[in-house]
Amino acid sequence: MLTVETRHAIHPSHARDMWTEELREHFLAQGMFREGEIRLVYTHYDRFVMGGAVPGSGRLTLDVVEETKTPSFLDRREMGIVNIGEPGTVEAGGETYEMGRGDVLYLGMGSGAVSFSGAGRFYITSCPAHKAYPSKLVTLADCKEVTMGAPETSNKRTIKQFIHPQVMESCQLILGYTSLEEGSVWNTIPSHIHDRRMEAYLYWGMDEESRVLHLMGEPDETRHLFVANEEGVVSPSWSIHSGAGIGKYTFIWAMAGDNVDYTDMDFIQPKDLR
């Protein structure tokens, strides 16, 4: 079963006047992981798509998505898949990929139908592509790790880069995830924006009762969302993205836009936030 929800782009001046439920309706992605279903959120931010596939005891295939008006979803797109569950299998382009928890699969433009099976919980990201790059499975052993922050500022974290220029080539999709160390809560300090790229987040590895306070909005007009495990956030290019969580958590970040320069960002110091 395939379900697609469309999210239209929101101007920052509109977001200033939104109340809580409006903010959650436009920027928070819930219910993406349901057994026996593929559930996608199609956004008008750089035509980025995020979603989930949970095959359970069956097999799920992602092929035709009416919103793209192409014969197959990946005809003019690339895709990044993260397995946030138990071991599972993805088949695409005549290849079979066995994915453990935390592994990332990149599928290049023109890979055709994508099938999911096994006990995996597959987080799907996708954006338009203008060039076909080779598909590649990047395991935890293959990623590039960067450690940042410090315990005294409550933001010691490890960034794992998978679909990233220092690991492999892609068209415009960049993806990795960040894990907070025990006792650290702040995930991105100082905060930043990158006007040339949108970004999307999936928070996972959290207890059922835990929440992350995700900060968003313009630097001088910040807003917030309380986010639960396996919920996502759509982050426009004009919005900051920082957060603080209760207990241990990880967030997957994925970006699409004008370039693949991970360091292309404009920092906003805490003293300048409002």
Contacts of 258 (CB under 8 A, 6+ apart): 172, 196, 197
Q: What SS3 state is found at 202?
A: strand
What are 261's two structure tokens?
């320069």
pLDDT of 193: 83
pLDDT of 269: 87
Q: In which residue ranges of the chain is pLDDT below 70?
A: none
pLDDT of 70: 97
Contact 124, 104 (CB under 8 A): no
Nearest-angstrom CA–CA distance, 27 and 34 = 20
pLDDT of 195: 80
26 is in an annotated binding site: no
192 is in an annotated binding site: yes
**Amino acid letter, 132:** A
* Burial (0-12, 13-18, 19+ Cβ within 10 Å), 52: buried
pLDDT of 153: 86
Contact 59, 251 (CB under 8 A): no
pLDDT of 190: 82
pLDDT of 257: 84
* Burial (0-12, 13-18, 19+ Cβ within 10 Å), 125: buried
- Count of CB atoms situated within 10 Å of the CB of 113: 14
Q: 3.40.980.10, 2.60.120.10, 3.90.1150.10, 3.40.50.740: which CATH number matches 2-272?
A: 2.60.120.10
Q: Model's pTM, two decimal places?
A: 0.96
Closest CA to 233 of 218, 254, 262, 248: 254
Domain boundaries, the chain: 2-272
Nearest-angstrom CA–CA distance, 154 and 184 = 4
Phi-psi region at 87: left, alpha or beta (left = phi > 0; alpha = psi -120 to 50): beta
44 is in an annotated binding site: no
